[in-house]
Amino acid sequence: MGEKRRMENHLAGKKEKGKTFFDLSRRKFLKLTAMAGLSVGAMGIQQPSKASPSQSSTGFGNKAKGKWIPTSCLNCTARCGIMVKVVNGNAIQIKGNRSSLISEGQICPRGHIGLQVLYDPERILSPLKRTQTKKGKGISPQWQPITWDQALEEITKKLRSLQESQKPHHLLIFSGLNSRSHEDLLFRFAEAFGTPNLVSGEGLELESEKAGIWMADGHFDLCAYDLDQTNYILSFGADLIESSPPVARWLRKWGRLRREKPIRTKIVEIQPRFSLTAAKSDEWIPIKAGTDAALAMAIAHVIIQEGLFDQKFIREWTHGFEAYRQIVLRDYAPEKVSKLTGIPSETIIRVAEEFGRTRPALAISGKGATAWPGGSFTSYAIHCLNALVGSIDAPGGLLYEEPPAYRPFPNLPRDEVAKRGLEQPPLDLHGTENFLAARIVTNQVPKSILEGKPYPIEMAIGFNSNLNMVAPGCKQWEEALQKIPFYVHVAPFISEMAEYADLVLPATTFLEEWGYDHSTPGAGFVEVRLKQPVVKPMGNSKPIGDILFHLVEKLPGGVRSAFKDIGESTAGFVRYRTSSLVPWEEFLKSGVWRGPDYQYGKYARIFQTPSRKFEFVSGNLRVLQMKKGRNTGEEKIAPHYSEVKWAGDEGQYPLLLFPYQPLLTFGNGSQNYPWAQEIFLPMQGVGWVSPAEINPETAKSLKVKDRDEVWIESPFGKIKTYVKVSEGIQPGMVCIPWGQGHTSYGKWQKGIGCNPNEVMGIDFDSISGQSAFFNTRVKVYKA
Amino acid sequence: MAKWGMVIDLDKCVGCQACLVACKEENNVPHGSPEEQKSRRDIFWHKMIAVTSGKYPHVRVEVIPMPCMQCDHPPCVTVCPAKATFKREDGIVVQYFRRCIGCKYCMVACPYGARSFNYKVQETKPYHRQDDPPDRKSWEPWPFPTRTQGVVEKCTFCFHRIDQGLKEGKKIGIEVVPACVESCPSQARIFGDLEDPQSPVSRILASRASFRLREDLHTLPKVIYLSRS
Ligand code: SF4
Ligand code: SF4
Ligand code: SF4
């Protein structure tokens, strides 16, 4: 009897050959069905609610009529089209906008949580000024409310002085999760002001995945997937239904992949941890952490050896196949790779054959496989599997999504100060010797600030960023933030990063502002969503767009004129930029504009490589290396596996720290939302916590039990949490979810759980500048 | 008379818990707190359980979204001394808050842990729904916009939606479904009339292997799961 069948019988209470599968007594069932299965461990909770419980029995009409307004969600980078129901000026319900086809009108649970974002009782509603001169973790800034005029005056005074002293590049701008329209305005502002230092958190996400794709075909971007037609998915640590962008698209398409196609798509999840995605997949292949590249190459080995590859595509549209073939056949035999990855060679061969024989098939890489030093080559190796089976720009395969053609900005007025500022080397050192192909190296920034190199930073403005929480090595960020002489934080909440600000400006949430948005690549076709205010801005909060339009008013000519003729206000700007796509009235009504259907097989123009073909040996990388006077030979610019460089000595730190991203905190800087908190970890059936999960074997060797309080210590620090013993974790690993461990604001998040980034080492993928997240060793001992 | 039932396809379900949040949003079910979760006093009309079996690397976890099972033989109704809990003609098991004396017998009797007790006076939130509750003339007091302390509550199959939809002549199960069904991004849930062999619920049940939770107890749940294989 299959495991699945047994599980269902047992859930149904059916007997199996005289015995139940395991004795599921009523008590046990009830225990399982109670949400709180575990002790909550090390958490100090803030003071009890200040809001007095009130039971108003009047005032609500039984038949209060509401209105549904289309707008766009911003709880993660998917930026789904949503409808918000507004009654008596209050937003009371959110659902997907059926006209948005990225996720077929569906949204993830976080979409609904937008209501608790908007009505978070701890939002800041007026500009705040720091009165405490000392900055540091745990030091209260002693905020004092000031007026918008005062705040903007202080900021523009400082900005003007940077311009006057011809040092516009000493301004650093951070951009967190913002609408595309706000991102575009920030970009315009930075360019007009003259700073090359507009830093996003993207260097912490999927840059190595993008670089791997770029090495092969010249696209430095994520690919889209033709999920309606694919029949086989090999996921390398992608956690497709928890943290693979665009999230809601994956949630919707999963239903289609399973039961809404003529052929049920087989899904194989490869990663060391038995994630929710692994549980919902057809097969889970636990792999030794950091060896995904070797596995991808071994799969290629089998496919090539057995002649299962797409001969026509390889012959006509690829370059360097022979060299790749030799490397793959020489170095990556399944038996050899089996030792590296811990996966039986029969499994490797079987999966490779399935992948090679099922058409169309997709290989997908995720953060778990690529956020490593050398991660670009892992992504490259995985990407090559798609080429082998002809899944490039083909039905059921990888798609190349182009961004929407918004109406361009008018030319920037010429400004000598700005021009010289922009010519300065960037603070994150992208494109330099250290990070050859990088576009953004987020985690290099604090180091540059601390060293004052290539120049000192005199002022920074952060828009919805929270880097000292989400980047590896939080301490480095804390020190860097302390060192910035003047820091302005713009956000609806006092995040960990805001604690270091000299001024805080209250931004609106996404439900109170104008904007346009489109998802990260995913669907193939493009779609733009209108973001419109569904309720009035709370208190004195202002949209980021409005703040920028106000700011430039008081700045010298060049910057001011850069904001002329682009609509004069945030709403006007949105109208200006989308006028090339859709008439305004129509956009207001539907909230969604969609581009033409995807065209497959554009081979003659999609490959941006020296050979104008898909390259198994990267000409793009060779060109860059030559420019820097380096030549490393073919093997080093073809996909390959290299052994992981661990942070921490194995003897002293025997375990691997392997954090993971639950859906309910994906892409989100804050967690002050009880609806998300109470159901945070569905696989464990608990909320409000972040346990350290370890295999029973590991627990035994460490002499710790379930629910024991422990320290997780690395060479870089230690954090405290409690142990959850779990069969779904590979022995020798410690798995902790991301998203908790907040030290700032909000009684529903502050002091709850721990943040694995605090004990993580700082390391990069040298090609893309991607931060490494998984190569830190730790030890675990009783607290 | 229709008999309303819900089918949840565990093969399509992604365990995202949108159903849990949408239920709270629809029915103003209060959110909990760390303390309430520890003492199991947080209220869920819809919850999710994870059932684990096997040893590494052959582990399996089945996550199961659970509204009230809407039993056709509901033990909660049998034990209620105040007749506060009863089964409507269309099979939906509901709760008269005015009659509930808070004895919690039903909570003990329910084999699925579907019921919650209102331990405290709940806060009113700006996002609480004030529209379209069931007909107040017969149902006051009702959990929205305010709740009643000291009574037991549970999932209602969103009967207010169904009743309203029927009044407006809408097709139940197609145009009108409970909030959890509407919000399910993978479209793993179907709602409809189990008595009507042509309804989508009946049709899919005829074509796939299905099971109910704890069939051995003969509670005859009207929430039916489709197996993964
Ligand atoms: S699941 Fe529990 S509460 Fe629901 S009808 Fe059955 S016994 Fe009653
Ligand atoms: S049917 Fe309605 S009340 Fe019941 S779980 Fe679903 S949303 Fe909640
Ligand atoms: S909303 Fe749908 S997919 Fe998500 S957990 Fe609920 S039933 Fe499963």
Quote the ipTM score: 0.96
- Surface of A (684-703) touching B: CB under 8 A: 684-688, 695-697
Q: Minimum-distance ligand to the CA of A250?
A: 3
Q: What is the DSSP string of A626-664?
A: HHTT----HHHHS--------BS-TTT--EEE--B--GG
The mean pLDDT value for A35-51 works out to 29
Instruction: Please tell me the predicted confidence (pLDDT) of residue B122.
Output: 85
The mean pLDDT value for A648-671 works out to 93
Quick one: closest CA in B to A106, which residue?
B185
Terminal alpha carbon distance of chain B = 33
Tell me the helices (H) and strands (E) count for chain B, helix number first.
8, 10
The three-point CA angle B128-B134-B140 to 5° equals 85
Instruction: Please tell me the predicted confidence (pLDDT) of residue A711.
Output: 98
Instruction: Answer yes or no: are the C-beta atoms of A221 and A388 closer than 8 Å.
Output: no
Q: Is B113 on the interface with A (CB under 8 A)?
A: yes
Instruction: Please tell me the predicted confidence (pLDDT) of residue B97.
Output: 83
The Cα–Cα gap between B101 and B97 comes to 8
Helices A345-357 and A292-305 meet at what angle, rounded to 10? 60
Q: Which residues contact B54 (CB under 8 A, 6 or more apart)?
A: A3, A727, B60
Compute the distance from residue A502 Cα to the ligand 3 centre, in Å: 44
The mean pLDDT value for B88-100 works out to 91
Ligand 3 neighbourhood includes B189 CB (under 6 angstroms): yes
The Cα–Cα gap between A614 and A321 comes to 9
**Is the pLDDT at B154 greater than 50, yes or no?**
yes
pLDDT per residue as tens digits for the range B72-89? 999 999 999 999 999 999
- % of chain A at pLDDT higher than 70: 92
Best residue among B8, B27, B160 to mutate for probing ligand 2's pocket (most ligand atoms within 8 Å of CB) is: B27
Instruction: Answer yes or no: are the C-beta atoms of A723 and A655 closer than 8 Å.
Output: no
Compute the distance from residue B34 Cα to the ligand 1 centre, in Å: 26
Instruction: Please tell me the predicted confidence (pLDDT) of residue B81.
Output: 97
- The pair of three-digit structure tokens given for residue B45, joined into one six-digit string: 């009309």
Q: Which residue has the tokens 């980034």?
A: A757
Enumerate the residues of chain A whose CB falls inside 8 A of the CB of residue B217.
13
Among A477, A252, A685, A210, which Cα is nearest to B49's?
A685
Per-residue pLDDT band at B53 (split at 50, 70, 90): very high
Instruction: Please tell me the predicted confidence (pLDDT) of residue A168.
Output: 97
Compute the distance from residue B154 Cα to the ligand 2 centre, in Å: 9
- The pair of three-digit structure tokens given for residue B32, joined into one six-digit string: 């909990």
Instruction: Please tell me the predicted confidence (pLDDT) of residue B51.
Output: 96
Instruction: Please tell me the predicted confidence (pLDDT) of residue A5.
Output: 61
Instruction: Answer yes or no: are the C-beta atoms of A716 and A473 closer than 8 Å.
Output: yes
Q: Minimum-distance ligand to the CA of B94?
A: 1
**Is the pLDDT at A46 greater than 70, yes or no?**
no
**Is the pLDDT at A62 greater than 70, yes or no?**
no
Per-residue pLDDT band at A54 (split at 50, 70, 90): very low
Q: Is A91 on the interface with B (CB under 8 A)?
A: yes
Per-residue pLDDT band at A47 (split at 50, 70, 90): very low
**Is the pLDDT at A24 greater than 50, yes or no?**
no
The Cα–Cα gap between A157 and A153 comes to 6
- % of chain A at pLDDT higher than 90: 88
Q: Is B108 on the interface with A (CB under 8 A)?
A: no
Per-residue pLDDT band at A22 (split at 50, 70, 90): very low
The Cα–Cα gap between A442 and A455 comes to 17
- The pair of three-digit structure tokens given for residue B123, joined into one six-digit string: 């806060």
β-pairing, A655-657 vs A777-782, is antiparallel
Ligand 3 neighbourhood includes B223 CB (under 6 angstroms): no
The mean pLDDT value for A651-670 works out to 92
- The larger pLDDT score, comparing residue B160 to residue A154, is at A154
Instruction: Answer yes or no: are the C-beta atoms of A70 and A533 closer than 8 Å.
Output: no
- Surface of A (34-53) touching B: CB under 8 A: 34-36, 39-40, 43, 45, 49, 51, 53
Phi and psi at residue A82, in whole multiples of 5°? -130, 165
Instruction: Please tell me the predicted confidence (pLDDT) of residue A628.
Output: 85
Q: Which residue has the tokens 């005829």?
A: B206
- The pair of three-digit structure tokens given for residue A91, joined into one six-digit string: 């937003």
- Torsion from C-alpha of B104, B108, B110, B112, nearest 10 degrees: 120
Instruction: Answer yes or no: are the C-beta atoms of A451 and A429 closer than 8 Å.
Output: no
Question: Between chains, do B62 and A279 touch, taking CB under 8 Å as contact?
Answer: yes
The mean pLDDT value for B60-80 works out to 98
Instruction: Answer yes or no: are the C-beta atoms of B37 and A686 closer than 8 Å.
Output: yes
**Between the CA of residue A429 and those of A437, A443, A454, A460, A568, what are the distances in Å?**
11, 10, 9, 17, 35
The Cα–Cα gap between A465 and A204 comes to 12
Compute the distance from residue B155 Cα to the ligand 1 centre, in Å: 9
Instruction: Please tell me the predicted confidence (pLDDT) of residue A573.
Output: 98
Instruction: Answer yes or no: are the C-beta atoms of A149 and A169 closer than 8 Å.
Output: no
- The pair of three-digit structure tokens given for residue A782, joined into one six-digit string: 């009783």
Per-residue pLDDT band at A45 (split at 50, 70, 90): very low
Which of A4, A35, A538, A661 to mutate to test binding with chain B, by most B CBs within 10 Å of its CB? Answer: A35
Most confident of B91-100, B124-133, B214-223: B214-223
Ligand 2 neighbourhood includes B26 CB (under 6 angstroms): yes
Question: Between chains, do B113 and A87 touch, taking CB under 8 Å as contact?
Answer: no
Sign of CA dihedral A178, A184, A190, A196: positive
Instruction: Please tell me the predicted confidence (pLDDT) of residue A66.
Output: 84
The mean pLDDT value for B51-59 works out to 96
pTM: 0.93
The Cα–Cα gap between A410 and A354 comes to 52
Q: Which CATH class is domain B4-120+143-226?
A: alpha beta
- How many beta-carbon pairs below 8 A join chains A and B? 266
Q: Is B20 on the interface with A (CB under 8 A)?
A: yes
The mean pLDDT value for A289-296 works out to 98
Q: Is A112 on the interface with B (CB under 8 A)?
A: yes
Instruction: Please tell me the predicted confidence (pLDDT) of residue A27.
Output: 53
Among A180, A74, A72, which Cα is nearest to A667's?
A74
Which domains are present in chain A? Answer: 2-53 (no CATH), 128-205+411-511+540-583 (3.40.50.740), 224-399+609-637 (3.40.228.10), 655-782 (2.40.40.20)
- The larger pLDDT score, comparing residue A514 to residue B130, is at A514
Phi and psi at residue A137, in whole multiples of 5°? -65, 130
The mean pLDDT value for A333-337 works out to 98
Instruction: Please tell me the predicted confidence (pLDDT) of residue A55.
Output: 28
pLDDT per residue as tens digits for the range A723-781? 999 999 999 999 999 999 999 989 999 999 999 999 999 999 999 999 999 999 999 99
Quick one: closest CA in A to B51, which residue?
A32
**Is the pLDDT at B194 greater than 60, yes or no?**
yes
Atom of ligand 2 nearest to the CA of B6: 1
How many C-beta atoms surround the C-beta of residue A295 within 10 A? 32
The Cα–Cα gap between A491 and A742 comes to 16
pLDDT per residue as tens digits for the range A413-460? 889 999 999 999 999 999 888 898 999 999 999 999 999 999 999 999
**Is the pLDDT at A18 greater than 80, yes or no?**
no
The mean pLDDT value for A592-615 works out to 96
Q: Is A86 on the interface with B (CB under 8 A)?
A: no
Residue type (1 letter), A55: Q
Rg (CA), chain B: 17
Instruction: Please tell me the predicted confidence (pLDDT) of residue A283.
Output: 98
Burial A223-234 (b: 16+ CB within 10 A, else e): bbbbbeebbbbb
The helix or strand, by DSSP H or E, that contains position A257, with its residue range, turns out to be helix A247-259
The mean pLDDT value for A572-582 works out to 97
Atom of ligand 3 nearest to the CA of B180: 1
Q: Taking the domains of chain B in order of start, what are their residue ranges?
A: 4-120+143-226
Q: What is the DSSP string of A141-157?
A: --EEE--HHHHHHHHHH
Bond prior to A360 in cis (omega within 30° of 0): yes
**Is the pLDDT at A16 greater than 80, yes or no?**
no
Residue type (1 letter), B149: Q
The Cα–Cα gap between A216 and A113 comes to 39
Gap from B214 CA to chain A (nearest CA, Å): 4
Average pLDDT value over all residues in chain A = 92
- Which of A33, A55, A94 has its CB closest to that of B112? A33
Among B86, B59, B33, which Cα is nearest to A726's?
B59
The helix or strand, by DSSP H or E, that contains position A87, with its residue range, turns out to be strand A81-87
Strand partners, A556: none
Per-residue pLDDT band at A44 (split at 50, 70, 90): very low
Compute the distance from residue A307 Cα to the ligand 3 centre, in Å: 41
Give the largest CA-CA distance in chain A.
86
Instruction: Answer yes or no: are the C-beta atoms of A111 and A75 closer than 8 Å.
Output: yes
**Is the pLDDT at A43 greater than 80, yes or no?**
no
The mean pLDDT value for A709-732 works out to 98
Q: Among A212-221, A362-371, A542-551, B130-139, which stretch is predicted with the lowest mean pLDDT?
A: B130-139
Best residue among B7, B157, B172, B224 to mutate for probing ligand 2's pocket (most ligand atoms within 8 Å of CB) is: B157
Instruction: Please tell me the predicted confidence (pLDDT) of residue A631.
Output: 78
Best residue among B24, B95, B156, B183 to mutate for probing ligand 2's pocket (most ligand atoms within 8 Å of CB) is: B156
Tell me the helices (H) and strands (E) count for chain A, helix number first.
29, 27
Instruction: Answer yes or no: are the C-beta atoms of A716 and A760 closer than 8 Å.
Output: yes
- The larger pLDDT score, comparing residue B154 to residue B129, is at B154
How many C-beta atoms surround the C-beta of residue B77 within 10 A? 18
How many C-beta atoms surround the C-beta of residue B86 within 10 A? 15
